[in-house]
Structure 1
Amino acid sequence: MRNKILKLLACNSRMPLDQIAVMLDTTVEEVEGIIKELEEEKIILKYSTVINWEKAGAETAVAIIDVKVSPQREVGFDAVAQRIYRFPEVRSVSLMSGDYDLSVSIEGKSMKDVALFVAQKLATIEHVLSTRTHFILKRYKMAGVIFEDAEEDRREVVTP
Structure 2
Amino acid sequence: MILNENEIEILEIIEKNGRLPAETIAKLVEKSLEEVQSIIQKLEEQKIIVEYNTIVDWRKVEGHEGVTAMIDVKVTPKRGVGFDEIAKRIYMFKEVKSVYLMSGAYDLSVIIEGKTMSEVGNFVSEKLSTLDSVLSTTTHFILKKYKHDGTIFDQGDEDKRIVVTP
Q: Is 2:100 the partner of 1:118?
A: no
Q: Which residue of 1 aligns with 2:145?
A: 139
Asked whether 1:43 is paired with 2:43, we answer no
Gaps of at least 5 residues in structure 1 are none
Aligned length: 157
Q: Which residue of 2 aligns with 1:21?
A: 26
Structure-1 separation of matches of 2:7 and 2:134: 39
- Cα deviation for residue 93 of structure 1 reads 0.3
**Superposition deviation, residue 154 in structure 1:** 7.0
Closer, same or farther: CA 60–29 of 1 in aligned 2, 3 Å: same
The one-letter amino acid paired with 2:71 is I
Is 1:76 aligned to residue 82 of structure 2? yes
**Shift of residue 56 of structure 1?**
1.5
CA distance in 2, matches of 1:64, 1:134: 5
TM-score, length basis structure 1: 0.93
Q: CA RMSD in A?
A: 1.7
Contact 1:59 1:110 (8 Å CA) reproduced: no
Q: Distance in 2 between matches of 1:154 and 1:95?
A: 46
Residue in 1 that maps onto 2:91: 85
What letter corresponds to residue 82 of structure 2 in structure 1? G
Following superposition, the deviation at residue 129 of structure 1 comes to 0.4
Stretches of structure 2 lacking an aligned partner (at least 5 in a row):
1-5
Residues of 2 paired with 1:79 and 1:141: CA distance? 31
Structure-2 separation of matches of 1:103 and 1:90: 11
Contact 1:93 1:102 in 2 (8 A): yes
Q: Give the share of equivalent positions with the same residue, in percent.
A: 52
| TM-score when normalising by structure 2 | 0.90
Q: In the TM superposition, what is the alpha-carbon distance from 1:149 to its structure 2 partner?
A: 1.2
Structure 1 segments of 4 or more deviating over 4 A? none
Q: Which residue of 2 aligns with 1:8?
A: 13
